[in-house]
Structure 1
Amino acid sequence: MGVAVAPDLPPRSLVVWVPDWPIVALARDGDDPPDPAAPIAVFAKGVVMACSAAARAEGVRRGQRRRDAQARCPQLIVVTDDPVRDHRVFAPVIAGIEEAAPGVQLIHPGLCALQAKGPARYYGSEAAAATVLAGVVVALGIDDVRVGVADGAFTAEQVARVGTRAADPVRIVPEGGAADFLAPLSVGVLEGETPGIAGLFARLGVQRLGEVADLGADRLGERFGAPGIRLHALVTGRDPRPVTARVPPPELHREVVFEPPVALADQIAFGLRLPAEEFTSRLGAQGLVCTELRVVLTGEHGDRSDRVWLHPGAFDAAAIVDRVRWQLAEQAASTAPTGSRAARPPRGAATGGLRSAVTSVRIEPEGVDAAAHHTARLFGSGPEERVHHALSRVQAMLGHQGVLIPEIGGGRWLAERQQLVPWGDARVSSDAAARPWPGSVPGPLPASVFPRALSVAVLDGEGDMVAVDARGEVTAEPVWLVTPGASGPGQRRGIRQWAGPWPVIERGWDPERARWAHRFQIVDHMQGAWLLVCEAGVWQAEGVYD
């Protein structure tokens, strides 16, 4: 006779958990990831959300502020939370698990759940199914993976998190044993279900889940309403939520494998034409267009080139092939000997940037937009459309750096804030421009900026040069501004108004590159407004407010 099981128990659930997933994702993403054995912490809003084993050994814990974490571990590597990276790197893990057992629910990157009944029948038992799924994840190069099986997804998750170890990664709680397993656990495990509830229970003197269960569903319902009743169901092992299998997203990426490896750019571009058309067609079937494209080139020696390309409109097949060509050309230029002419290799030139022939090219959408936003208007879009097509055609002929447009970048000096970026990459420098630049000129900026600072002189009433002393004060009242003339002596302008000085201190820790200057705004007698810089007694004009 079998053991009688309460009829209201939730279905058996199986949870797969990869500890410290943000750290694992960081180590598996990019060309030069940090060593996962180093002390690393991932921060979200200034608080530790994940840390490596080496960081935990130094006293770093989740929930710590950055100041406290770095005080405990001065050599801590600080990384900003990136949910997109976490999801992207976990996608192959989900796909591998789905091949072994369909019906996976993604809880969050690093944690997923399945109904245990189907895999247990297929593989012979719950233990066999858990072992197989753990092996699938390990085969993907992830060493530490935990699997918990219990009544309901909540209990199974706690089994995987609390009841397993690296040496014993699989644990199964028998049917009906969920409440006994949960009872000694801290109320802190409820924080993920109801933020702030753990602190409230602690203030009430309730420390364990078993004590929460003893309060009863009625009392919790009176205090918290429907969420209180749900909490009671969780802590008693009767999680009411079913495992909901995700709908796998359509495969929008395309990958071309070259066998044998190919070393000529023309051959790679030819092999990519049809997959690029299929790529845009798949997006079109979903009502989408690609505005940001990730291109990953892999060489036969394991070397890799990964880049995200932008487009001023939306990528078509020809634009995708062009970006792959440009990436091959940039890689070739980056590894060419100094003085060589590889900066713009001819069509069909060898792809030396990867240091080996190309074995595969992968294209995937990094950013998409609704196709309706890019539909051609009934009567066209006038000059904008013609300019876009003209610049795109010229860029396709000359290469990525062949068409440049101005963009405001970051910096303290006006000349360095003027940047020329390739057509289509205009958003690249917006991040740098938004950073704080102490000493930079606030808006409105001068309308005319000199490519090279213009040498001028500022004189007092007696004709002596005005300077700025060690206290940051002018040595005399500015009266005359002398600017270079078209020919012969300079032109003397009377100063009607002036403001300043405003110090600009740059790289004060570096004796060779340090700059210590003062800015002035001056209005001359002809109502011309100037932005001047006095550095070591030498005056220059950065721009004119005209």
Structure 2
Amino acid sequence: MTGATDSVRVVVVWVPDFPVLACGAQDGVPVAVVHRGAVVACSASARAAGVRRHMRLPTAQARCPGLRVVERDLAAEVRLFEQVVHRVEAEVVPRLEVIRPGLLAAPARGAARYWGGEPQLSVRLVGTVAELGLPARAGIADSTFVAALAARRGDGVVVPADGDAAFLSPYPVGVLGVPRLAELLKQLGIRTVGDFARLPAGRVAERLGTEGIGAHRVARGGSARPVSVRTAVQDHTVQRLFEAAEEQLDAVVFVALALADELHERLAAAGVVCGRVEAAVETADGRILTRIFRHEGRLSSRAVAERVRGVLAAWSETGLLDAGDGEPGIRRLALRPDGIAPDTGSQGAFDGERDTPVEVERAAARVQAVLGHRAVARIVEAGGRGPGDRIRLVPVGDIPDDGAGASGGTWQGLLPAPHPAAVYPVRRPARLTGADGAPVGVAGRLELSAEPAFLSVDGRRPAGVNGWAGPWPVLERWWARDGGRRIARMQVTTDDGHAWLLLVDRSRWWVEAHYG
């Protein structure tokens, strides 16, 4: 049979700034949610100050000095958005697709007939999400891509049938999501989607290749994906039956990781990719719960498993996994690919997430097979107050435990941004003195005994102090008789052009990190 395309009407619901809402930010506070040193979302007040998505963190902080920086917590986003998905499925449309937390899509034709028309469907969806205290916008078009743009333009925008191309025409070519192609088109004097759409398809295929063909199809109002290949989708479904009902969610997540690996191998062997993955869980009492994720060939196996983890946690918190009087646990987990298409590279209509490129994962697996599983690790941000506490090494292929990603929580004494460029594994001895040469001390109320004037590191010649901030106290495990720690940190700049992070412990100064 031939797989479905986006030829039907589609409604998209978008919750603006969803990562900011998921971190619990207060209204009016400039907030930036960051991942790997770049802004992935920001609040309206931060945008007003000049902060933008994809901006590097130092640039964002320079534009908005009072910016509150929060590390992205994808699991929290999945849990919060699962409430939206559950409510929308129960009250408005019976089946939908989660593109990413904060953005969902659903077939619009049948739902619009039920609710009295497409504008009425949009109003119903926005109102349903608003009941959960979240702002939302809805857009309807012939394709998911254009419906998402319509939702971003304003609430309740309905693009007429066969009107996708006209709607896209005035947009800049960069909206097509292919940066290299957009740059080339600009160099050729083609700046709008409409200009690009008017080019002959044959000339586009000849000069711009597969990437250009897909973008040109979108520009003309078609689907971002090629026509689906003839394939039996069920042939690629992977599943695992548990001998006994599994009650530990972490065990189910590790099975999801193995299933995702198997699914990707099957798709690669067939030369295809999938646009979506449906995760299905069968409980011990016979209920089946499903959730659809946008995939577009971009999610690594670990990222798929993390999606499953977030959904399972949300279902558990909302009681959907409770067995009542029946047998508890999960009997079966299945991953079913949907939207099968030839593997022609990135499908590129939406921002995807791929934490580790597949080539790197495969190379790491080969090294691990020779040197051991822990021989190849990746850096994961973790919870902690000091710079050394906030980094953990996790073997490639492993899913970080809950502690490894707890960087978004509230940590009393957390070192403020910007973060140091180098953290020393072993503290370097230092001497911080006042103008009279006497050591600077820190009193119980965080009062300095003298204003810092000179800093010596590793016994070298002292440099003059021309700026400092702090001290910030850290009191950890205060209840432990032998394991407690009471320290204070300071940031110090010297007249030789260096910036240091100092730590005072039992009246002795140490260099913990270097800013540059």
TM-score where L is the length of structure 1: 0.46
TM-score where L is the length of structure 2: 0.49
Larger Rg computed on CA atoms: 1
Structure showing greater relative contact order (alpha-carbon pairs closer than 8 Å, 6 or more residues apart): 2
